[in-house]
Amino acid sequence: MRFFFPDSQDQVSPSFDFRTEEYSPFRVRQRDDRYAHEVLDPPPYDGILVSKAIVDGSTRGAGKYSEAQRSRLYRYGVRDFFRLPVDAHTLGDCGAFNYVNEPEPPYSVTEVADFYESIGFAAGVSVDHVVLAYDRRLDLEHGHEEWQERRRISLRYAQTFLDECIRRGEPFVPVGAAQGWDPTSYTDSVRQLQDMGYKRIALGGMVPLKTADILASLAAIDEVRNVDVELHLLGITRLESMSDFAQYGVTSFDSTAPFRQAFMDDKNNYHVSNGEHYVAIRVPQVDANPTVKRRVLAGELDQRTLVSAERQCLRALRAVGEDVKHTDETLAALTEYENLLGVKRSYLEQYERTLRNRPWEKCSCSLCRKHGIQIAIFRGTERNKSRGFHNLSVLCSQVRQLPQKTKEAA
């Protein structure tokens, strides 16, 4: 099972000083900053997925790349731009969720093929249009007209895309995109893509589905899937079900979930290998947190008092990072800071579990060994992304330890 990490130009800076919270004045973004595969050994994923919408933009506007970064990507190619290990896989797609509200994809087949070929992807997904629905009560013939049209568009583009790849001498492996709204529609999409000649097929639109619905669709697909056809799940993690997915021909998946949970989830911020998770310790930045700044400007909060309490929290956290005996005083400092901020939802009980269990000391990843407790602090992009990279390493380790199931053994 291969795990692909979708790129959104997420990096950490080796020059960032966690004590002063300052970067080197000579830092150059992207060139000096490091991707997860450059700061973790082994790399926390088997390959990267890069979307055209992220690089070139779409109907929503500009992508995540600056013009200089975009130019370097096209000039150097995907492997050199990302400084990838020799055995890393590369996969391109269109980023269909970025134009999900449009009646048609904003890219032509030629534009997408040019993107994949010029940047040097090993494989590329055909242009598709996401079906934002799932209803097992509606079979292949009774899906809503908009769903039917989006599936027809995806299949039409898939045929044109494959023809274009063949015309070019297949400079990358074509991956057909399958869309659907129930097991029968997904199955028919896979059947048609196989008939076109696809050997790799990506299943899209499944992110909102319950695991049982994904398994039902995979089981139905397996009835028609050729034995040499491999499936990729777009945007799906579901680690607990990966062995079940594998028995139905799934050989790869991509997801940003473990990375994003580091700073977007209420509680599931720091992952550990046994499947447990910890709450990261929130210390909002007085000078950088928009909500705090607004309240200071409105006269609701006293900036000098807040800055003093904030600094005391950081000092206490550094101390408890050195010695667990400072746990109580650290919790007291966090309590005072929360009271000053008027925090409506406190996580102090969960913070105590994090501080007493000290999961960063049990982790073997290079980021935890280097940064210690700093990686468990919810504050600023460097700490948060470092924790996200740690989460990726945990997921990848878990994937590599998955038992290999066969249909006979299942």
The model's pLDDT over 223-250, given as tens digits with 9 standing for 90+, comes to 999 999 999 999 999 999 999 999 999 9
pLDDT tens digit string along 277-312?
999 999 999 988 888 888 888 888 899 999 999 999
Last residue of a domain, one of 208, 235, 255: 255
- Is 406 part of any domain? no
Let me know whether 82 and 192 are in one domain: yes
Let me know whether 109 and 237 are in one domain: yes
Q: Report the pLDDT value the prediction gives residue 404, as an integer from 0 to 100.
A: 60
Cis check: omega of the bond before 105, within 30 degrees of 0:
no
> Which of 7, 46, 56, 254 is an active site residue?
254
Last residue of a domain, one of 234, 255, 276: 255
Q: Which helix (H) or strand (E) holds 91?
A: strand 89-93
Let me know whether 82 and 121 are in one domain: yes
Strand partners, 270: 278
- Is 40 part of any domain? no
pLDDT tens digit string along 22-75?
999 998 887 899 999 999 999 999 999 999 999 998 877 778 899 999 999 999
What's the number of domains the chain is made of?
A: 2
Let me know whether 208 and 291 are in one domain: no
pLDDT tens digit string along 116-139?
999 999 999 999 999 988 988 887
Torsion of CA 34, 400, 240, 364, to 10 degrees: -60
Cα separation of 321 and 372, whole Å?
7
Strand partners, 190: none
- Is 11 part of any domain? no
Backbone angles phi, psi at 90, to 5 degrees: -130, 135
DSSP 181-203: SSHHHHHHHHHHHHHHT-SEEEE
Is 93 catalytic? The answer is yes
Let me know whether 183 and 99 are in one domain: yes
Q: 334 is in which domain, residue-wise? A: 263-395
- Is 12 part of any domain? no
Let me know whether 211 and 232 are in one domain: yes
Instruction: Kindly state the percentage of the chain with pLDDT values over 90.
Output: 84
Q: Count CA within 13 A, CB hemisphere, residue 219.
A: 9
Torsion of CA 118, 207, 198, 50, to 10 degrees: 10
Cα separation of 346 and 377, whole Å?
15
- Is 218 part of any domain? yes
Residue where the block lists tokens 């990726």: 392
Provide the greatest CA pair distance for the chain: 69
Let me know whether 271 and 390 are in one domain: yes
Cα separation of 296 and 384, whole Å?
24
- Is 25 part of any domain? no
Strands 277-278 and 281-282: unpaired
Which CATH number characterizes residue 128's domain? 3.20.20.105
Is 254 catalytic? The answer is yes
Let me know whether 241 and 186 are in one domain: yes
Residue where the block lists tokens 């000096």: 32
pLDDT tens digit string along 3-20?
999 999 999 999 999 999
Query: Is the pLDDT higher at 407 or at 285?
Result: 285
pLDDT tens digit string along 79-110?
999 999 999 999 999 999 999 999 999 999 99
Q: Report the pLDDT value the prediction gives residue 64, as an integer from 0 to 100.
A: 87
- Is 14 part of any domain? no
Q: Report the pLDDT value the prediction gives residue 60, as an integer from 0 to 100.
A: 73
Give the mean pLDDT of the chain. 93
Q: Which helix (H) or strand (E) holds 391?
A: helix 380-400
> Which of 33, 93, 128, 188 is an active site residue?
93
Let me know whether 242 and 350 are in one domain: no
Q: Would the pLDDT of 410 be above 50? A: no
Let me know whether 267 and 249 are in one domain: no
- Is 410 part of any domain? no
Let me know whether 204 and 74 are in one domain: yes
Last residue of a domain, one of 205, 236, 255: 255
Let me know whether 197 and 99 are in one domain: yes
